[in-house]
Structure 1
Amino acid sequence: MNLLFLLLPMWACTFSLLSITFLARPESTVYPISASVFLSKQNPISQFSSEMEAVSPGVAVVRVVQHQDLNKRILIALIVASTLLGGILLLLLCFWIRRQKILKNSNGKSKHNLEPTKAISLSPIVDRFNSLWMAGKKGSVAVVIEYQLLEAATNNFRESNVLGEGGRGRVYKARFDEKFLAAVKKLDGGGQDTEREFENEMEWLVKIQHQNIVSLLGYCIHGETRFLVYEMMQNGSLESQLHGPTQGSALTWNLRMKIAIDIARALEYLHEHCNPPVVHRDIKSSNILLDSKFNAKLSDFGLAVATGSQNKNIKLSGTLGYVAPEYLLEGKLTDKSDVYAFGVVLLELLIGKKPLEKMSSTQCQSLVTWAMPQLTDRSKLPNIVDPIIKDTMDLKHLYQVAAVAVLCIQPEPSYRPLITDVLHSLIPLVPMELGGSLRVT
C-alpha cells in the first residue's frame, strides 16, 4: 500500500508531461489566401511541393510537414517518459524490498532480545557507553532509560535489591541481562534541592571521565522521582567495608593504601586537570565505591561546584565529621576543603573508626579531635591502628601515612598540602601491582 502511494505521484507526473507535450504542439493552421505570397517566397521542400505551389496555395504542404514533426515529438516524449518511469519504478521497488528486509531483521532481533521477565536488554546502551569511554570522548554518554526497564531490572525495587541508602534515597542492584549489572540510585521526594542535585550530578558526570570516578550510564525521570544508573561496584562502599558486618577484614594494609591513592588521583584530576577546577564538597567513605578488585572510584557529584562559583549562593552542605572547619564556621570553600575530608578518610583507613563516634544520646566524639594528639606520638600511634592491620606494615610507612593525615586535617587551610603533594607522598608506599611504585621483595 505504501508503494502504491509512492507510485501515484509518479503516474501523475507522467500524464502531466504528456499533456504538456500535446498542448505545446504547434497548431495546424490553414493560412488564408493572402498568406500565399509569403509562402511562395520560401524554398520549396521538394519538386512535388513546387508543382503544388503553382496550382494552389501552399497551405496543404505546410500542414503535412507540421504533422510529421508533431508525430516525431510525441514518439520521443513517450519513449523518454516511459524510460524515466521505468527507472524510477525499478529504484522504488529495490528500495521497498530493502526496507522490508531491514524491518524483518530488526523485528527478529527484538523478539530474540525480549524475554518475558527481563523486558529489554541494555546491551546496546552498555556497548555505546564503553565505546565512547574507551575513545575518551566528551559529551553526552548517559542515555534515557525507560522506567519500565528499571522496574523489571530491580524486581520492582524490591527490598532484597537494596545496596545502600543515602540522604536522598536508596541505591538498588539492577540486572539488565545475564552478564550486565548496574546500580540504580532512586532520588525521592522531589523538591528544588533534589532536582538541583540530580541536574548537577548529571552535568558533572557527563563531562568528567576518569578511571577513579564512577561512570554514569543513564538516567530516568518518572513523575517527581529521579533515577541515576551507574556502573556496578561489586564491593560496595568503603563505609560498608570498614564499618559494616565485616569490620574491614577484607581490607589489608596494601589495599587500604591503594584505595587512598585511587581517591587522591580522582581529586587531583578534579583540582588540577579540570577546567575550571572542581571542588567535590562531599568526600566521605560512603561516596567511595569499590569494584571487584577493590579499585576505588569517587561518586556522588550532586554537591560539586566549579572553583570561582563556590561562594556565590552556595548552600552550606556536606557531612559532619568530614566538613572542613573554615567551611563549617565561615562558609569559605576551596579545594583545601576536599583535602581536609580526604584526611578524615585516611584516618578511617588507618584507625578503623567512624568520623563521629556516638558517646551518648547527646554527645559525639570527633575522630580528628581524638586522634590528633596520638598521631604525632610515635609511641602511641601503633596502639590506635585498626586491629585488623596492626603489625602488618612497615612502621616507617605507618609514620609517613600518619604524617600525611595530620597535614591534611590542619585547622588552617593554608597549612594543608595540595592533593598532588599528598598523592606523591603515598605512591611510594603502595606496591607496583596495586598502582604504586613500591617494589615488594
Structure 2
Amino acid sequence: RLEALDLRWSQLTPHAKHALLWDSGAVSASEDSYVQVYVSCGMSMSDIAISKDSLGTVLPTTDCLGPHGVTYVRQVGAVASFGALDRLTRCTISDAPLPNSNATTSVVYSQDALLPSDIPSLRVVLHRDETGTARPAIHSFIDAATSTTLSCPLVSQSVGLVILCGSRWKQRQALNGFTSALRPFTRPPPVPAHSISNVQNGAAVQRYEQPPPTPSTVPPSGPYYPQHHDRPSTDHPRPSHLSSLARNPFQSPSNSNLLDQLNPSAALAKLDQVPSHLRLPFDSITTTQLVDTGIRCKVYFGRYNHKLVVAVKTITLDHVHDHEIVDAFAEEIRLMASFHHPNVVALLGFAWDSVSLGSLMAVTEYLSQGNLSRFLTDNPALHWDLKASLALDVARALQYLHGLLQPKVIHRDIKPKNILLDWPSAKLSGFGVSREAMDDETLTAGVGSALYMAPEALRSGYYSVSADMYSFGCVLCELDTQRPLYADIDVPAKRIMHLILEEGLVPAVTPACPPAIRALAHQCFHQDASMRPTAFDVARDLDLFVHGDVGGGLV
C-alpha cells in the first residue's frame, strides 16, 4: 500500500503508522510482535466492537462514569463461559502466539471512555473463562492496569474499548479508500492526526472509502433495445442489475470459522497455464462500483489502466483463504483464457498482488445491458424475431464449447442470469462451475441452479453435454414466457423438485409459442438424455428459424 504511493514507513507520523496497522488488522501482542485480526465478510476493523444491545444478559455489566462526564458500560465479574459470547463476536485472532499460561480472567468488554486528546495503545490479551476456555480480546488503553480491572475505574481515568474476538476467521482485505488517505503524506504539510484515525465514541479507525458513481440513466434507443455500452470514457455505463459473473451454485458452501491455510501450489499451477500476456499488473486495475455479489464472488465495475471499461470479479472476503474456492477461481480463469468466440464473454486478463492468491481478480469485458433474465423482465411482450436471435447466440456458444473445443467444456449452469447482453448479441458467461470433459465423460453435478438442471444430473450426481441441452430448453421456455420457470405453479420449491424427479415435470411454453420453438424445447427435455439434440442440432434449427425458413415466418 505504501509502495503504490512511493512512500516509506519512516515518512509516516506515529499516529498514521498506528492507524495503518489497525486498518490492516495488525495489533500488538507484545512489545515486539503483532497478531493478525480477521473480520467477517463485508466488515472493516471499525465494525468489530460488540454492541451493548446485543449483549443482553450474556455478560454481567454495569454503568461507569468516565472522565468526560459520560456514562459508559463495562463488564463486572468473571466470565462464566465464552460459549454464548462466541455468537456475538465479530472478529477472530490466531491465538497461537498468545501463550495460554498468560491467560487472564480480566474484563473482556468495555465501551470507550477516552478523552478526545487521548491516543491509546492497542494490545491483544488472552482471556480465560471459569471453564478454562481461552479467547483473545483487543484492549485499547492509556493505562494497562486500568484496562483489565473488573470494576469501574476512577472517574478521572481514561478507559478504552475492550473487544472480545474468537479464534481465527477470514483475513480482511486492505481498503483502497484508506490507502488514498495516505496520499497527503507524500507532500507537505502533513494532515492532522484526526483525519487518519478516530478511536473515540466506540469507533475504531475511520473507514476511508469513495462512494460508488451514480449510474447513467440515458434511455434506450427503442422499445426493445437496451442501452448500448459504447459510451464516452467520462461517463460510466449502466451496470447490470444481476451480473451473471457472480457465481450462484445450487449447493451452499460449508460453514467454517477456521482460517484454512492456503496452499497456493494448485492454483498457481493453473494460472501458469494462462498465456503470460493475460497477466495484468495488479495496480492497473481499479474498481469503483459493486455490480453484483454472490455467495463466493463479487463483481465490480472497473477500468484497466484508467481507460478501458471492464468487469472485475473477486473472491468475497470470507472465502479468500478457502483453498478450494481459490483453486476453483484459478481454474475458471484458466478455462476462460482458452475461449475465443463472439458469443462467449471474453477474459481480458487476471491480476493478483503476488503475495496472497486471495487478491486474485478476473478481468473481463463489461456488458452494461445486464443479463437476459433482467432484460426479459424489463421488456415484456418481446417478439420472437428478437428473442430467437438471442437463443441462436447461446446455441452457438454451446456449439463452440461442446464441439469445437478439445477437450469439450460442459458449462453446467446454463440459465438466463448467465447470459449477458451485448446488443444485438448475447454472450454466455458464468463459467465458475464449468469443467472440461474427455469424449463421453460425465462430471460430478450438484453445482448448478436446481430448476435448470436435468433430472439425471439431479438424481445421479453426474453432468454431461446432454444436461447442458436440457438447461438450454429451460432457457427457451423462459424466453417464451418471459417469466421465471414454474412461476404459475404455486407450490413450494421442494414440491416442484419432486414433480421434476418423480413425475417428469418440465417447463411449459405459452400457447403463442412458435411451433418450431415448442418442438425444440420438447426435444431438449427428452427423459432419455441420449435422445436430446446436440448444440449443433439446436444451432442449425434456430438458424433456419431466424432466417424465416421454418414455420411460415416469424411470430
TM-score using structure 2 length:
0.44
Matches of 1:408 and 1:365 in 2, distance apart? 19
Residue of structure 1 equivalent to 2:280 = 145
Q: Is the 8 A contact 1:310 1:333 kept in 2?
A: no
Alignment of 1:154-165 (within 5 A): 154-155=287-288, 161-165=289-293
Residue of structure 2 equivalent to 1:238 = 372
Matches of 1:272 and 1:299 in 2, distance apart? 18
Q: Is the 8 A contact 2:284 2:305 kept in 1?
A: no
SS at match of 2:432: coil
Structure 2: state its 5+ residue gaps: 1-209, 211-232, 234-272
Residue of structure 1 equivalent to 2:516 = 400
Residue of structure 2 equivalent to 1:425 = 541
From the superposition, tell whether residues 261 and 141 of structure 1 become closer, same or farther in structure 2 (CA, over 3 Å): farther
| 1:431 CA drift (Å) | 4.3
Q: Is the 8 A contact 2:290 2:299 kept in 1?
A: yes
Residue of structure 2 equivalent to 1:69 = none
Matches of 2:302 and 2:382 in 1, distance apart? 26
| 1:348 CA drift (Å) | 0.7
Matches of 1:360 and 1:312 in 2, distance apart? 32
Q: Is the 8 A contact 2:453 2:467 kept in 1?
A: yes
Are 2:454 and 1:320 equivalent residues in the alignment? no
| 1:278 CA drift (Å) | 1.6
Matches of 2:347 and 2:299 in 1, distance apart? 14
Q: Which has the larger radius of gyration?
A: 1
Matches of 2:275 and 2:475 in 1, distance apart? 32
| 1:284 CA drift (Å) | 1.3
Alignment of 1:297-376 (within 5 A): 297-308=427-438, 314=444, 316-355=446-485, 357=487, 359=490, 365=496, 372=506, 375=509
SS at match of 1:174: strand
Residue of structure 1 equivalent to 2:363 = 229
Q: Is the 8 A contact 1:185 1:227 kept in 2?
A: yes
Task: Encode CA deviations 1:279-319: one digit per residue, 9 max, x unaligned.
Answer: 1111111111111x231111122222222389688463111
| 1:212 CA drift (Å) | 0.8
Matches of 1:331 and 1:371 in 2, distance apart? 19
Task: Encode CA deviations 1:17-67: one digit per residue, 9 max, x unaligned.
Answer: xxxxxxxxxxxxxxxxxxxxxxxxxxxxxxxxxxxxxxxxxxxxxxxxxxx
SS at match of 1:306: strand
Q: Is the 8 A contact 2:402 2:409 kept in 1?
A: yes
Residue of structure 1 equivalent to 2:425 = 295
Matches of 2:351 and 2:508 in 1, distance apart? 48
Matches of 2:547 and 2:538 in 1, distance apart? 17
Residue of structure 2 equivalent to 1:88 = none
**Greater helix proportion:** 1
Residue of structure 2 equivalent to 1:409 = 525
The match for 1:200 among 326, 331, 349 is: 331
Percentage of pairs with the same residue = 31
| 1:264 CA drift (Å) | 0.4
Matches of 1:250 and 1:183 in 2, distance apart? 30
| 1:225 CA drift (Å) | 3.6
Alignment of 1:234-313 (within 5 A): 234-243=368-377, 246=378, 248-249=379-380, 251-291=382-422, 293-308=423-438
Q: Is the 8 A contact 1:340 1:409 kept in 2?
A: yes
**Residue identity matched to 1:270:** L
Task: Encode CA deviations 1:251-276: one digit per residue, 9 max, x unaligned.
Answer: 54222111100010011111111112
Q: Is the 8 A contact 2:412 2:433 kept in 1?
A: yes
SS at match of 1:266: helix
From the superposition, tell whether residues 360 and 439 of structure 1 become closer, same or farther in structure 2 (CA, over 3 Å): closer
Residue of structure 2 equivalent to 1:170 = 298
**Residue identity matched to 1:274:** L
Q: Is the 8 A contact 1:271 1:279 kept in 2?
A: yes
Structure 1: state its 5+ residue gaps: 1-116, 118-122, 124-137, 156-160, 376-380, 386-394
SS at match of 2:362: strand
RMSD value over aligned CA atoms? 3.7
From the superposition, tell whether residues 200 and 410 of structure 1 become closer, same or farther in structure 2 (CA, over 3 Å): same
**Residue identity matched to 2:428:** L
Matches of 2:455 and 2:520 in 1, distance apart? 18
SS at match of 1:239: helix
**Quick check: 163-172 or 333-342, which moved more?**
163-172
Q: Is the 8 A contact 2:441 2:464 kept in 1?
A: no
From the superposition, tell whether residues 209 and 241 of structure 1 become closer, same or farther in structure 2 (CA, over 3 Å): same
From the superposition, tell whether residues 182 and 403 of structure 1 become closer, same or farther in structure 2 (CA, over 3 Å): same
Matches of 1:271 and 1:414 in 2, distance apart? 15
Matches of 1:313 and 1:421 in 2, distance apart? 23
Alignment of 1:172-191 (within 5 A): 172-176=300-304, 180-188=308-316, 189-190=319-320, 191=322
Matches of 1:146 and 1:154 in 2, distance apart? 14
| 1:169 CA drift (Å) | 2.0
| 1:344 CA drift (Å) | 0.6
From the superposition, tell whether residues 179 and 195 of structure 1 become closer, same or farther in structure 2 (CA, over 3 Å): closer
The match for 1:209 among 337, 340, 356 is: 340
**Residue identity matched to 2:528:** E
TM-score using structure 1 length:
0.55
From the superposition, tell whether residues 146 and 269 of structure 1 become closer, same or farther in structure 2 (CA, over 3 Å): same
| 1:374 CA drift (Å) | 5.7
| 1:321 CA drift (Å) | 0.8
From the superposition, tell whether residues 179 and 407 of structure 1 become closer, same or farther in structure 2 (CA, over 3 Å): same
Q: Is the 8 A contact 1:181 1:231 kept in 2?
A: yes
**Residue identity matched to 1:154:** T
SS at match of 1:184: strand
Matches of 1:313 and 1:267 in 2, distance apart? 17
SS at match of 1:321: helix
From the superposition, tell whether residues 340 and 186 of structure 1 become closer, same or farther in structure 2 (CA, over 3 Å): same
Q: Is the 8 A contact 1:142 1:206 kept in 2?
A: no
Alignment of 1:121-132 (within 5 A): none
Task: Encode CA deviations 1:110-147: one digit per residue, 9 max, x unaligned.
Answer: xxxxxxx9xxxxx9xxxxxxxxxxxxxx9727633344
SS at match of 2:344: coil
From the superposition, tell whether residues 315 and 373 of structure 1 become closer, same or farther in structure 2 (CA, over 3 Å): closer
